[in-house]
Structure 1
Amino acid sequence: MVEEVLQSEEQDITRVVPSDGEEDEQPEEGEIVGGDGDTFSSSSSSRPGTAVAQHPLEHSWTFWFDTPSAKAKQAAWGSSMRSIYTFSTVEEFWSLYNNIHRPSKLAYGADIYCFKNKIEPKWEDPVCANGGKWTMNFSKSKSDTCWLYTLLAMIGEQFDHGDDICGAVVNVRAKAEKISLWTKNAANESAQTSIGKQWKEFLDYNESIGFIFHEDARKLDRGAKNKYTV
């Protein structure tokens, strides 16, 4: 199912290039092209006078980014996160995605978030406060494809309980990488287990995954236990 979305939408990719027709220089490791206020134009083509048809998504989504260097300068968790770009069409997604480093190319300690617009990827956000997260673990530099398929499943509304999903995050660390899927109503066990099972199916992930309540994570930090497992 996710593969079908990938194959059908890749035909609409519009590569963003500078006005002189040459590609931008490669960003430093751990950085995102066009960060800190720069925008990406997905409605224009490299050929003047042409336009790309827009295919709207059911929800608008925002990419957020947190760099290890920024984290080191901040006292409070989450204070170094910055929103990169909000997209609402298939074409905007692909234009942005194709100008962001894959997780395997990011600096250790970096985090990329993709959340529904107006939901901040923080426990304190009112929508996230009573939620939790499913987490998948990957060997070093092995999460790229699963991160893409997770994004496609979310923005393509592939989940039966998609309204319960807040967003996803990929954490890049020195020894491993992990992808987490955040939801907003942790107490609804049937919805959470449905989301977890479907996520594994979409990614063809065969290991067990666990669901942790954000409330437990706040209180117990690394000692929080899985409430659900699929």
Structure 2
Amino acid sequence: MMDTVEKKEIEAKAPSVPSTTPHPQPAASPAPPTSGGEVDADGEAEERERQARELKSGLHPLKHKFVFWYTRRTPGVRSQTSYEENIKKIIEFSTVEGFWVCYCHLARPSTLPSPTDLHLFKEGIRPLWEDSANCNGGKWIIRFKKVVSGRFWEDLVLALIGDQLDYGENICGAVLSIRFNEDILSVWNRNASDHQAVMALRDSIKRHLKLPPSYVMEYKPHDASLRDNSSYRNTWLRG
């Protein structure tokens, strides 16, 4: 979550929202990609041009453009074709103002049917294990009681769009999975073999979500998910 100084910097021009809701910090010019990043020079130039346009318009650009996706899962065995057909793009945004406009109109997690997935990914990355940005990566998984999942999901969304998590260029997106007895948050990263980046992301998630010590985080590479056709079973426990 942001401190008071960061919040005040963007509240002047951000859309009016309840005072109890934190605001994400607009990003400055893009930082060079870390070892886990795959951002090319053309992509960086396009991002800089986008941010310059938005700043000129009096908006607060985010470091990355994001897309919300929605999946209403159907019973049965998952196949790539059936899963892709169920993924629906909701809306994209690239500024603080654009985020709040769409986020305030999204259904709250507590009102979503089970099983449902809500995805937030950087533009150009589909929420699929097979996507080129995801196929060599994996995800950190946290299971929550349904009464608290909405708050943790919002905190995670704000940390993600505000580029507050460590090794941010190695992050692809996040997913909220609504299930019958629990809700599951997952953060996807590009490179499952980069142990330093994977463990730094775990620690950063714990820190920003202020997770109690009783919460156990699990990690699973996407190639393992492809092999056993499961998102959340047979995970690697990492504490």
Query: Displacement of 1:125 after TM fit?
Result: 0.4
What is the deviation of 1:145? 1.1
Equivalent residue letter for 2:120: C
Structure 2: where are the runs of 5+ without partners? 18-56
- The code of the aligned residue for 1:138 comes to F
C-alpha displacement of 1:137: 0.5
- Offset, 1:170: 0.2
Letter aligned with residue 159 of structure 1? L
Name the residue aligned to 1:64.
69
Deviation at 1:101, TM superposition (A): 1.0
What pairs with 1:17-56 in structure 2 (closer than 5 Å)?
53-56=58-61
Post-superposition offset of 1:220: 2.1
Identity %: 31
Q: Which amino acid aligns with 1:67?
A: R
What residue identity is the alignment partner of 1:55?
H
Cα deviation 1:184-209 (Å, max 9, x = unaligned):
10000110100011101111112120
Distance 1:2 1:199 in 2: 14
- Give secondary structure in 1 for the equivalent of 2:102: helix
Report the equivalent of 2:126: 120
- Residue aligned with 1:126, SS: coil
**Letter matched to residue 59 of structure 1:** H
Q: Please give the alpha-carbon distance, in whole angstroms, between the structure 1 residues aligned to 2:157 and 2:70.
A: 15
Q: How does 1:97-176 map to 2 (within 5 A)?
A: 97-176=103-182
1:100, 1:130 → 2: CA distance?
31
Q: 1:6 Cα deviation (Å)?
A: 8.9
Aligned counterpart in structure 2 of residue 219 of structure 1, from 222, 227, 237: 227
Match of 2:161, as an amino acid? I
> What is the alpha-carbon distance in structure 1 between the residues aligned to residue 147 and residue 111 of structure 2?
8
Paired with 2:6 and 2:156, the residues of 1 have a C-alpha distance of 11
Question: Relative to total residues, which structure has the larger helix share, 1 or 2?
Answer: 2
Q: Tell me which of 175, 184, 193 is aligned to 2:199.
A: 193
Q: Is the 8 A contact 1:103 1:141 kept in 2?
A: no
Provide the TM-score with structure 2 as the length reference. 0.73
Q: TM-score, normalised by structure 1?
A: 0.76
SS at match of 1:88: strand
Q: CA RMSD in A?
A: 2.5
Aligned to 2:15: 13
Q: CA deviation at 1:111?
A: 1.0
Per-residue deviation, 1:54? 1.0
**Pair 190,200 (structure 1): closer, same or farther in 2 beyond 3 Å:** same
Match of 2:211 in 1: 205
Distance 1:121 1:3, change over 3 A: farther
Once the two structures are superposed, what CA deviation does each residue of 1:40-75 show, in whole Å capped at 9, x if it has no partner? Answer: xxxxxxxxxxxx94100111000001124xx46996
Report the count of equivalent residues: 192
The answer on 1:182 being equivalent to 2:182 is: no
Structure 1: runs of 5 or more not aligned: 16-51
Matching residue within 85, 89, 94 for 2:91:
85
Q: In structure 2, how many angstroms separate the alpha carbons of the residues matched to 1:67 and 1:5?
A: 39
What is the alpha-carbon distance in structure 2 between the residues aligned to residue 77 and residue 6 of structure 1? 39
